[in-house]
Chain A
Amino acid sequence: MHGRAGSVRLAGALFALGVVSGAPVSAETPAPPPRPPEAVYAKTCGYCHGQHVAPVIRGRAIPAEMTQAIVRRGQRAMPAFRPTEISNAELKALALWLKASKADPKEHDQ
């Protein structure tokens, strides 16, 4: 329940000092481990694609490069997704998974 109690305490300490100096911080925040393509699809793409909203994209052997380009720039009505939302590693894996995927009969076009 208390995911980052430490950060709360640190923030409290900074507040007690009043103005914080803004000194450069040395440690970069580590990237979280990549999510598997199935999870990225289920929690982002799959809300529209195949759900009466956007076209079915599974089972169509869509070239991986095309998927990557469309995700990053957005395709007409589709929003763009940034590396802060879907990392480059996740996107690469998603594009390959999608290309090799089979159609799901439960999905519907638009």
Chain B
Amino acid sequence: MTGVTRRDLIRTGAVGAALMGSSAFASPLDGPRQLPAHLDKGVFAAAVAELRAVVGADWVFADPESTLPYAKSSTPDPRHEHVPSGAVAPGTVEEVQAILKIANHYKLPLWTVSTGKNMGYGCATPASSGQMILDLKRMNRIIHIDAELGTALVEPGVTYQDLHDYLEANNLPFWLDVPTVGPIVSPVGNTLERGVGYTPYGDHFFMQCGMEVVLADGTLVRTGMGSVQNSTTWQAFKWGYGPYVDGIFTQSNFGVVTKLGFWLMPKPPAFKPFMVRHNAMGDVAKIVDAMRPFRMSNLIPNVVLMMGAAYQIAMFHRREELWDKPESIPEEVVRSFARKHGLGMWNTYFALYGTDEIIAAIEPIVRRAFEASGGEVLTEKEMGGNLWFEHHKNLMSGQLTLEEKGIMRWRGGGMVCFAPVAPAKGIETQQQTELAKEILGRYGFDYSVAYAIGGRELHHLIFIQYDKEDPAEEKKADDCIREMITRFGARGWASYRTGVNTMDLVAQQYGEANRALNARLKQALDPNHILSPGKQGIA
């Protein structure tokens, strides 16, 4: 029984005592809460009183005890730069508007979250300390599902679980496309972060259609066809008329998105999952070059996952089962453990969808190409019952799972994701793999990765796993990701998304003209800078 130990009991006892009263935290840095630097206590208290009048006392969290869950994050924060001041949780659009009015008056910075489970990127914590979390979880209505068009319109607090339950209860023949933490996260939050899933609808922002946004001054805007009076096409046509603006509300702080539309995949008559097993780390280039034409032509239609062995092992096993030294695990140790569980050094999961006839026609073509790359092409026949195969089969058919969360236990709860984009060219993915291994190796971290393969690029998802409770390890993880961002950046490889601790660093790589444009948009739309300052490096 490794989970709840005597040490945990003692530690929880200490936390329990701390929860009894805020005086237990002698310094703000000891606790989960920090006030905004520019507001004195009295002004903050006045703002909190007004917020309570809007949402009710139960939905404003402004003391150390109630702020505790908002401060929890697996990303490194060695200098305590991401500590919230509290949280406010509206239940309606009108309450959001009233909150923004108060925030403008007091210059209270608000960090918006949908479900606050941005795993590996900071969860609910803000880009700078003192921001109050604008927690939209209570806005959890599934507003409309169009069963003929296969579209959804939902609020930010709706989880994939809620949507899944709704589709089941109403016997609607659609599949969701879920990220790896589907049950507890929201389609709105994930889409706005431009996250991905693993069916043919895996590029979530591509499948998004229409949104409703509250701007900082309270203006309510609907994008696309949603602002046409009596519109019946809001979730049917993305582009609307005139400039297309949905993009500026993703990975940004230009407004608060209160409704989001997106498309649902019709359940296919037939589905066949595959795994391709390659046994050498150096096979990465061959796999990417074999995959590229199939993704470009859409013969393989889903977002493919090419999973490194160490990442796969970490889902269901602990590091000490393989290796008891602080240095990175040698490749041979990983390979040997992986082999015992039916895994290779790279395990590539894709699926075919359609009818039995379509799948039968495509399978031999795909099989030949991957066999020529040196891989073993495996199906349910060989891999059925294998924990990893079953997991990816579930992901590729839109089923809910949290199994990949297991990787956070590898080294004591700390995990931060570095996510550079690579072009879908074998040589460059090989170079990225080599550079990542070199840097991680110097810090003693393991090369624990997944490549998510889109049409012409890959997200190289590199997970730095560390002991969050050891300050030296936390500092090391922070140093490591900064070095990775900087050195990958020097090669022209930048992140598609990053954690709260490195948002400014990554923004620098996208150049001054880009930053200045964002700054001008921000100044026009939110002149008091109350919405999520620091998000993606936008002040």
Residues of chain A at the chain B interface (Cβ within 8 Å): 1-5, 7-8, 11-12, 14-16, 18-25, 28-29, 31, 43-44, 47-49, 51-57, 60, 62, 65-66, 69-70, 72-85, 109-110
Contact = CB atoms under 8 A, between A and B. Distances in A.
A48 to B, nearest CB: 5
Contact of B137 (A21, A23, A82): A82
B135 A57 contact: no
B281 interface: no
Interface of B: 1-4, 8-9, 12, 15-16, 19, 50, 53-56, 58-59, 61, 66, 68-72, 74, 87, 89-95, 97-98, 100-101, 115-117, 119, 123-124, 135, 137-138, 141-147, 157, 161, 170, 183-184, 212, 217-222, 227, 229, 259, 315-318, 387, 400-403, 405-406, 408-409, 412-413, 415, 468-469
A40 to B, nearest CB: 11
3 closest cross-chain pairs (CB), A and B: A55-B3, A29-B91, A22-B101
Given A29-B91, A57-B4, A82 B116 contact: yes
Given A14-B220, A25-B94, A55 B143 contact: no
Contact of B8 (A2, A75, A110): A75
A74 to B, nearest CB: 4
Given A29-B95, A82-B116, A109-B1, A77 B143 contact: no
Nearest to B119: A79
A14 B142 CA distance: 20
A110 B317 contact: yes
Given A24-B53, A25-B95, A76 B72 contact: no
Nearest to B410: A77
A98 to B, nearest CB: 11
A73 B68 contact: yes
Contacts of A79: 72, 117, 119, 123, 184
A46 to B, nearest CB: 9
A54 B227 CA distance: 46
A4 B219 CA distance: 21
Nearest to B469: A76
B138 A53 contact: no
Given A1-B147, A79-B117, A81-B69, A20 B12 contact: no
Given A52-B406, A54-B409, A110-B317, A3 B69 contact: no
A47 B400 contact: yes
A76 B15 contact: no
A49 B98 CA distance: 40
B387 A52 contact: yes
A11 B142 contact: no
Contacts of A65: 16
Contacts of B387: 52
B397 to A, nearest CB: 17
Contact of B406 (A23, A82, A110): A110
Nearest to A16: B229
A14 to B, nearest CB: 5
A62 to B, nearest CB: 7
B468 A76 contact: yes
Contacts of B402: 47-48, 51, 53
B143 A7 contact: yes
A22 B70 contact: no
A52 B15 CA distance: 27
B161 A77 contact: no
Given A48-B402, A65-B16, 11 more contacts: A3-B144, A11-B222, A20-B220, A24-B54, A29-B95, A70-B12, A75-B8, A82-B124, A83-B61, A84-B157, A110-B317
A7 to B, nearest CB: 7
B90, B184, B212, B401: which has the most chain A beta carbons within 10 Å? B184
A43 B3 contact: no
> B-side binding surface: helix, strand, loop or mixed?
mixed
A64 B406 CA distance: 24
17 contacts: A7-B141, A11-B259, A19-B217, A25-B92, A29-B90, A29-B91, A47-B183, A53-B316, A53-B409, A57-B4, A62-B4, A75-B8, A76-B469, A80-B72, A81-B69, A83-B66, A85-B137
A11 B220 contact: yes
Nearest to B318: A110
Nearest to B144: A2
Contacts of B12: 66, 69-70, 75
Given A55-B4, A84-B89, A4 B72 contact: no
A72 B69 contact: yes
B352 to A, nearest CB: 27
Nearest to A73: B68
Contact of A84 (B95, B137, B227): B137
Contacts of B137: 82, 84-85
A20 B219 contact: yes
A14 B218 CA distance: 10
A64 to B, nearest CB: 11
Contact of A25 (B54, B143, B227, B413): B54
Nearest to B234: A8
Contacts of B317: 110
B425 to A, nearest CB: 35
Given A62-B4, A84-B137, A1 B92 contact: no
A76 B409 contact: yes
Contacts of A74: 69, 72
B220 A109 contact: no
Contacts of A5: 143-144
Nearest to A24: B98
A21 B218 contact: yes
Nearest to A8: B143
Contacts of A78: 413
Given A2-B144, A28-B91, A109-B3, A19 B72 contact: no
Contact of A29 (B4, B87, B92): B92
B97 A22 contact: yes
Contacts of B221: 15
